[in-house]
Chains A and B, each alone.
Chain A
Amino acid sequence: MGKIENLDFKKNSLRKINSFLQNISYKNNKREFTVKNPRGEHAICAGLKENILVKINGHVGYYCGGMNQKANIVIDGNAGTGLGENMMSGTIHVKGNTSQSTGATAHGGTIIVDGNASSRCGISMKGVDIIVKGSVGHMSGFMAQAGTLLVCGNAGEALGDSIYETVIYIAGNPKSLGVDCIEKKITKNDIKKIENLLKQGNINKLKAINFKKFGSARKLYNFNIDNASDY
């Protein structure tokens, strides 16, 4: 390994390719890399630590870009379960669709999905910004704690179930809202935030005023004796 042209799954193993990308020295002048023939392999580009650009030509499997710090990852294809799981910073841009649990527990950075994200998008997210240009599946934003989920399409059932302080902006409609998730009034500050996210996602077709805002009613934060029979 060591030769940059060998970031090809036809020629090298996942472990070798990941290990190469994880150990790029900050002194290295080469900052752009292309991964070829990913063939849906799992955990591609997991644990990257440097501010590099990695382009992946094809579809990836589970947990692509997991635990990412600083790196910018562009996937020219679809991604499987848990894209950018527990990401800390950097960006991941998927040009296709993503499977369930996109951005699960991610603390920071930005995930952009050009297509749809399926169920449980942003589950337990802790500070990441997720921009989905299509729609999201059921239970998206489940127990989401911080950060922003912006959806240009619709959302499936039980959006934002048991949500904490994540803010959800959605241009379409949720099929239903989860427990303790309510629509909130859009403020000037929200408009600024949405405009910023639209800019990051390179979205021109929609304007900030097209979006509705959802968040926590904060009624689950403390135990309510009236709900005792529900447990």
Chain B
Amino acid sequence: MCGIVGLYLKKKKLHSQLGSYLSAMLDNMSSRGPDSAGFAIYNNKEKKRYKYSLCLSKKVNLNNFEEDIKKNFKNLDIKTISDHTILYTSAKPQKFIPFIKKNYENILLIGYGKSIEIFKQVGSPKDIVKKFNLDQFSGSHGIGHTRMATESAITIDGSHPYSTGEDECLVHNGSLSNHNNLRRELIKKGQEFHSLNDTEVAAGYISNKLSKNKSMKNTLTDCLSNLDGFYTFIVGTNNGFAILRDEIACKPAVIAENANYVAVASEFQAMAHLPNVNKAKIYEPEPGVVYTWGK
């Protein structure tokens, strides 16, 4: 099953509300995915530094880690919420990512970019939303996922959103059947994977295409011929997000749009709390059609 949600705020004055709107959306989708949950928040406040979203296992001593990282990187800020740490640093990914991989095998890098912050955890979406204080977050847009596990184990590795490129992430309702072949092909092209999950492969596929300067529209159109299975995707980027449903369109999605926001969710009830939603333009995305919003 799984539940997916996305919210893009068109007006800057609403940005402080992003977290509270999104947390109620995720909470409501618990019924579609009680196993794990995660969300990505896009916030453009940092102009120059990168943000690295890390998940620390219990084996890591946070104080030692902080000291160690401060020795190696300057102009550094650290924000820790529960077992997740966001590192703000001017260090470029080419330098920072190999450093983390080399020195900390118990730290999972779950995303990076100038705008994105990712949080995901195993357990009930209601608890996870609380644990990470999602309602306190501000930003321009965010996407989230509640998981009913089918394709791989209930672990953080198996939780969405999947980020496989700078400021990119994907949430998925559905399942893919050709992900093993596609994973092998993408590994040959240099894409890295950390789980056996089908969605991570789709995310890698999308990142690979985008890195070749393909537009979001063309990339997602290519998905229709190369990804075999059922899916409703929400793809987040620095600029906004995009939606694609496969052509059979068994996996639901509904969009509500007005002058203030674009909301997307698996079911209308996830957005029923949004202001003036009953007067918004409400429609289902057509099968096989790419929808994008953003700057």
Q: Given A78-B282, A96-B282, A97-B284, are A59 and B268 neighbors across the interface (CB < 8 Å)?
A: yes
Q: Which of B269, B271, B278 contacts A77 (CB 8 A)?
A: B278
Q: Does B283 contact A (CB under 8 A)?
A: yes
Instruction: State whether the Cβ of B287 lies closer than 8 Å to any Cβ in chain A.
Output: yes
B249 within 8 A of A: yes
Task: Flag whether A105 is at the interface (Cβ < 8 A).
Answer: no
Within 8 A of B (CB), among A129-174: 137-138
Q: Name the B residues within 8 Å of A39 (CB-CB).
A: 269, 272-273
Nearest-CB residue, chain A, relative to B282: A78
Q: Give the docked Cα–Cα distance between A133 and B107 (Å).
A: 56
Give how many B residues have a beta carbon under 8 Å from the other chain's beta carbons: 17
Compute how far the CA of A80 lies from the CA of B254 in the bound complex, rounded to whole angstroms: 9
User: B269, A61: Cβ atoms under 8 Å?
Assistant: yes
Q: Which residues of A contact B252 (CB under 8 A)?
A: 80-81, 99-100
Residues of A within 8 A of B284 (CB): 97, 99, 118
Q: In the bound complex, how far is the Cα of B282 from the Cα of A80, in angstroms?
A: 12
Cα–Cα distance between A207 and B271 once the two chains are bound (Å): 39
Bound form: Cα–Cα A42–B247 in Å? 25
B247 CB contacts on chain A under 8 angstroms: 138
CA distance A138 to B247 in the complex (A): 9
- Majority DSSP secondary structure for residues of A touching B: loop
Judge whether B267 is part of the interface by a CB distance below 8 angstroms. yes
Contacts of A62 in B (CB 8 A): 267
- A175 to B31 CA separation, bound complex (whole angstroms): 36
Cβ of B273: which chain A residues have Cβ within 8 Å of it? Answer: 39
Is B287 touching A58 in the complex (CB atoms < 8 A)? no
In B247-261, the 8 Å CB interface with A consists of 247, 249, 252, 254
Closest to A62 in B: B267
CB distance from A31 to the nearest CB of B (A): 27
- Distance from A113 Cβ to chain B, minimum over Cβ atoms (Å): 13
Partner of A80, one of B249, B267, B271, B287: B267
Q: Decide: A59 near B287, CB < 8 A? Known: A80-B267, A80-B268.
A: no
Quick check: A59 and B282 within 8 Å, CB to CB?
yes
How far is it, in angstroms, between the C-alpha of A47 and the C-alpha of B83 when the chains are bound?
A: 47
Whether A138 touches B287, Cβ cut-off 8 Å, given contacts A39-B272, A40-B272, A58-B278, is: yes
Instruction: Answer whether residue A41 sits at the interface, using C-beta atoms and an 8 A cutoff.
Output: yes
Q: Are B283 and A40 in contact (CB under 8 A)?
A: no
Interface residues of A in 75-132 (CB under 8 A from B): 77-78, 80-81, 96-97, 99-100, 118-119
A53 to chain B, nearest CB (A): 22
B-contacting residues, A39-58, CB 8 Å: 39-42, 58
Contact with A along B14-47 (1 / 0, CB 8 A): 0000000000000000000000000000000000
Q: Please give me the residue from chain A that is nearest to B256 by CB atom.
A: A59
* Known contacts A97-B283, A118-B284; A40 and B267 CB within 8 A of each other: yes
Chain B residues near A96: list those with CB within 8 A: 282
Which of A42, A78, A96 has the most chain B CB within a 10 Å cutoff? A78
In the bound complex, residues from chain A placing their C-beta under 8 Å from that of B282 are 59, 78, 96-97
Determine the chain A residues whose CB is within 8 A of the CB of B283 once the complex forms. Answer: 97
CB A151 to nearest CB in B, in angstroms, measures: 17
Q: How far is the CB of B118 from chain A (nearest CB, A)?
A: 28
Residue of A nearest to B272 (CB): A39
B257 CB to nearest chain A CB (Å): 14
Q: A-contacting residues of B (Cβ < 8 Å)?
A: 247, 249, 252, 254, 267-273, 278, 282-284, 286-287
Extra contacts, 17 of them, besides A40-B269, A118-B249 (Cβ < 8 A), are A39-B272, A40-B268, A40-B270, A59-B272, A61-B267, A61-B268, A61-B269, A78-B268, A78-B282, A80-B252, A80-B254, A96-B282, A99-B284, A118-B284, A119-B249, A119-B287, A138-B249
Chain A residues in the interface with B (C-beta under 8 A): 39-42, 58-59, 61-62, 77-78, 80-81, 96-97, 99-100, 118-119, 137-138
Can you list 8 residue pairs at the A/B interface with Cβ under 8 Å? A39-B272, A40-B269, A62-B267, A78-B282, A99-B284, A118-B249, A137-B286, A138-B287
- The 6 A-B residue pairs whose C-beta atoms are closest, nearest first, are A40-B269, A40-B268, A39-B272, A40-B272, A118-B284, A59-B268
